């Protein structure tokens, strides 16, 4: 299991951490730049200041969002666990429709504590403020991609509170980057039924943290089964909403 280690020198807000993430991005983007220069430029524009997601995974997320747009699936983009907004901006740029709104749900206070449904090593490693993002950076990432300001909805607060107060009738792309079992399960409970047939559900922590896989499995087990989750990269998965 790969963990985002708590090593202060390499945290993204420090120069050494930003430099390491930038170097990784440049190496991973070299092959992509040859195949799709525009997509590579978009990924590089957002890494690492606005997203910690590896460029090859961002590239696959871009492909999924582009396919949703190609199929003409209507609805908004909802991202649960936003950090600094890079992946949300990328999905919106790839999905293309100026009619879509993008919803950015995040506590902006870091990750909540994992529970007994998550591995013990994560519970012992957790600290308050882990992966704290910024609403201002979310807006900056959006502007950097040239996206219309009136289409972005930033919703700060814990999911348990903000989900109850928010209404998104139709979702074309649901991206869940919530790390632990409980918030991932909550995201599916609240938003899965709003995903339009043919829409995409992306699971950033699939095959990274075991609680993520278990949350998805438990959610669909209670419904008598669900779609197969397909891998996006060495981590991350997605599926298309049946219908």
Helices and strands (H and E) in the chain: how many: 9, 7
Structure tokens at 149: 């300001």
Mapped onto helix, strand or coil, the DSSP state of residue 130 is: coil
What's the pLDDT tens digit per position in 127-182? 999 999 999 999 999 999 999 999 999 999 999 999 999 999 999 999 999 999 99
Tens-digit pLDDT profile for residues 74-87: 999 999 999 999 99
What is the band of 5 on the pLDDT scale with cuts at 50, 70, 90?
very low
- Average per-residue pLDDT for the chain: 90
Q: Which domains does the chain have, with CATH numbers?
A: 53-240 (3.40.50.150)
* Confidence tier at 10 by pLDDT (50, 70, 90): very low
Name the token pair of 175: 């991206």
In three-state secondary structure terms, 174 is strand
Token pair 């582009």 in the structure block, residue: 66
pLDDT tens digits, residue range 104-125?
999 999 999 999 999 999 999 9
What pTM does this model have?
0.89
State percent of the chain over pLDDT 90: 77
How do strand 237-240 and strand 230-231 relate by DSSP bridges? Answer: antiparallel
Structure tokens at 128: 């308050």
**Packing angle of the helix pair 37-46, 55-70 (nearest 10 deg):** 120
Q: Which of 24-33, 53-62, 70-79, 228-237 has the lowest mean pLDDT?
A: 24-33
pLDDT for res 48 = 86
Separation of alpha carbons 35 and 20, rounded Å: 24
Q: Which tokens sit at 158?
A: 């814990």
Across 207-217, average pLDDT: 97
Band the pLDDT of 28: cuts 50, 70, 90. confident
Two structure tokens written together for 34: 């040859």
Q: Which residues of 199-217 are buried (b: 16+ CB within 10 A; e: fewer)?
A: bbbbbbbbbbbebbbebbe
Contact 129, 111 (CB under 8 A): no
Note the pLDDT of residue 2: 43
C-alpha–C-alpha distance, residues 135 and 106, integer Å:
9
User: Which pLDDT tens digit goes with each residue over 168-204?
Assistant: 999 999 999 999 999 999 999 999 999 999 999 999 9
Question: Is residue 193 exposed (0-12), middle (13-18) or buried (19+ Cβ within 10 Å)?
Answer: exposed
SS3 9: helix
């Amino acid at each position: 299991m790969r963990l985002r280690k708590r090593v202060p020198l390499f945290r993204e807000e420090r120069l050494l951490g930003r430099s390491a993430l930038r170097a990784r991005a440049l190496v991973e983007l070299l092959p992509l730049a040859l195949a799709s220069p525009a997509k590579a430029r978009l990924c590089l524009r957002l890494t690492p200041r606005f997203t910690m997601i590896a460029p090859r995974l961002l590239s696959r997320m871009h492909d999924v969002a582009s396919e949703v747009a190609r199929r003409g699936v209507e609805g908004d983009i909802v991202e649960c666990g936003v950090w600094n907004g890079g992946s949300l901006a990328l999905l919106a740029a790839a999905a293309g429709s100026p009619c879509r709104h993008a919803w950015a749900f995040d506590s902006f206070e870091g990750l909540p504590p994992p529970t007994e449904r998550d591995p013990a090593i994560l519970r012992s490693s957790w600290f308050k403020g882990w992966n704290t993002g910024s609403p201002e950076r979310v807006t900056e990432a959006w502007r950097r991609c040239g996206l219309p300001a009136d289409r972005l909805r930033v919703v700060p607060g814990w999911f348990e509170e903000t989900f109850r107060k928010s209404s998104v009738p139709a979702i074309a792309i649901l991206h869940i980057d919530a790390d632990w079992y409980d918030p991932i399960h909550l995201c599916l409970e609240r938003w899965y039924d709003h995903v339009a047939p043919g829409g995409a559900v992306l699971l950033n922590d699939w095959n990274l943290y075991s609680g993520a896989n278990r949350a998805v499995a438990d959610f669909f087990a209670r419904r008598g089964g669900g779609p197969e989750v397909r891998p996006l990269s060495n981590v991350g998965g997605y599926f298309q909403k049946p219908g």
